Amino acid sequence: MQLSGRVDRIRESATLRVSRRALELRRQGVPVIDFGAGEPDFDSPAIAVEAARLALAQGFTRYTANNGIPELREALAERYRAAFGTPWTAADVLVTVGGKGALFESSLALFDDGTEVVLHTPAWVSFVEQIRFAGARPVEVPTSGADGFAIHAEPLVAALSERTRAVILNSPCNPTGGVISPAERRKVVEACAKRGIVVLSDETYERFAYDGFEPGSAASLAAEFPDTVAVIGSFSKTYAMTGWRLGYLLGPRELVDAAARIQSHATSNPTSFAMKGALAALVGAEADVVAMIAEYAARRDLLLARLARLPGIRCAAPRGAFYAFPDVSQRLTGDLATPTDFAERLLEEEAVAIVAGEAFGSDRHVRISFACSRQALTEGMDRIERFLARH
């Protein structure tokens, strides 16, 4: 079969590959500890489940408006207005099939062959693939574990060129847990605004912050830079609603309309009754979110304490998101030559799933998700200790 050149440019998501292998082993009866998936282990908020159930029972099962049900778009616009003073109305909101859908449609709407997109790395697996799929070239700006993978404006701005269409910010960052400060974010947005470049701010982990840190949002700059700032968000992580597949894009009307046009030929509206559940979560599940974040904070502390005990492994404390990104380079000797070797051997020998850093553009790190119970974290870290004692 002759597949398209477009599809040749992308690879399967490495994080999904790890999950698949972990699932395979589980099916064979192996008690796998899964630190691989970026997926909350909590149930979706009861209020969301109930609202979706009711919507189904009431026959809310037909096509909706392509860009999402108006009441959810209104609630999102209101949430951003109240939290960040944004000028966006429901017309500036597109509800999408996951945050992934919002990013994919934004990429197709903005990037052309021969254009460039600047992003900080290590980065979430899909950014680079989506940029390439849209025909553009990713321009990678490294962040460093030495300062907790902080995202700095200066190297991002220095990477801008006449071909740059967008800068992707992801704060808090998957996989590093690094963040950008409000002052640095403003510098990036100002520089992009001067050059007519869009800032796509992926704030999937906006609510996940630790040690009193307030991640803020690029949305707070939208009133000042309305043609520059676009925010992508998701119900997946904040509300433990991964399988519902709901995310959103808020930003310049031109971009939102273009992304909606693409959506109209790709998926059409996101699932009708799922949107009813998401609306209920957005307005009524704050207590669930606060409780979940407190639990993530406790898990993070537990994981960091255990990682600190591992000889030859250094880990910057993540400021946000729910991943630790330890540097294992000192342990990459003999049969563990690369992070991929490390991750594969760990899965096969100790049934612990993690993701090798190569997936995110690092040949020194591995990613450990702490979106799992404290018991699983303890058991998994016991196994990693045993594994390292042998290698």
Tokens for 142?
A: 């490294």
CB nearer to ligand PLP: pick between 38 and 68? 38
Should residue 234 be labelled a site residue for ligand PLP when binding is judged by CB under 6 A? yes
Should residue 202 be labelled a site residue for ligand PLP when binding is judged by CB under 6 A? yes
Q: How far apart are CA 222 and CA 219, in angstroms?
A: 5
Should residue 357 be labelled a site residue for ligand PLP when binding is judged by CB under 6 A? no
Point out which span in 97-105, 143-151, 276-284, 332-340 binds ligand PLP (CB under 6 A). 97-105
Should residue 124 be labelled a site residue for ligand PLP when binding is judged by CB under 6 A? yes
Should residue 263 be labelled a site residue for ligand PLP when binding is judged by CB under 6 A? no
Q: How far apart are CA 350 and CA 336, in angstroms?
A: 15
Asked if 293 and 136 count as a contact pair (C-beta separation under 8 A), the reply is no
Task: Show the site string, 51-70: x = touches ligand PLP by CB under 6 A, - = not.
Answer: --------------------
Instruction: Compute CA 82 distance to the chain's CA centroid, rounded to the nearest angstrom.
Output: 23
- Of 143, 170, 220, 228, which one interacts with ligand PLP (CB under 6 A)? 170
Point out which span in 71-79, 149-157, 234-242, 288-296 binds ligand PLP (CB under 6 A). 234-242
Should residue 174 be labelled a site residue for ligand PLP when binding is judged by CB under 6 A? yes
* Farthest CA pair distance, the chain: 61
CB nearer to ligand PLP: pick between 87 and 243? 243
Residue 64 CB, nearest distance to ligand PLP (Å)?
Answer: 19
The residues, any chain, with a CB within 8 Å of residue 169's CB and separated by 6 or more, are 120, 151, 180, 185, 188, 199, 200, 201, 202, 218
Should residue 238 be labelled a site residue for ligand PLP when binding is judged by CB under 6 A? no
Residue 255 CB, nearest distance to ligand PLP (Å)?
Answer: 17
Asked if 291 and 46 count as a contact pair (C-beta separation under 8 A), the reply is no
Which strands form 355-356's sheet, in the order they lie side by side? 323-324, 366-369, 355-356
Should residue 201 be labelled a site residue for ligand PLP when binding is judged by CB under 6 A? no
Should residue 236 be labelled a site residue for ligand PLP when binding is judged by CB under 6 A? yes
70-84 helix and 272-284 helix, angle to the nearest 10 degrees: 30
Q: Which of 245, 247, 165 is nearest to 206 (CA)?
A: 247
Should residue 204 be labelled a site residue for ligand PLP when binding is judged by CB under 6 A? yes
Residue 344, CA distances (Å) to 59, 126, 232 in order: 47, 21, 32
Instruction: For the beta carbon of residue 308, count every other beta carbon within 10 angstroms.
Output: 12
Question: Which residues contribute to the site for ligand PLP (CB under 6 A)?
Answer: 38, 98-100, 124, 170, 174, 202, 204, 234, 236, 242, 247
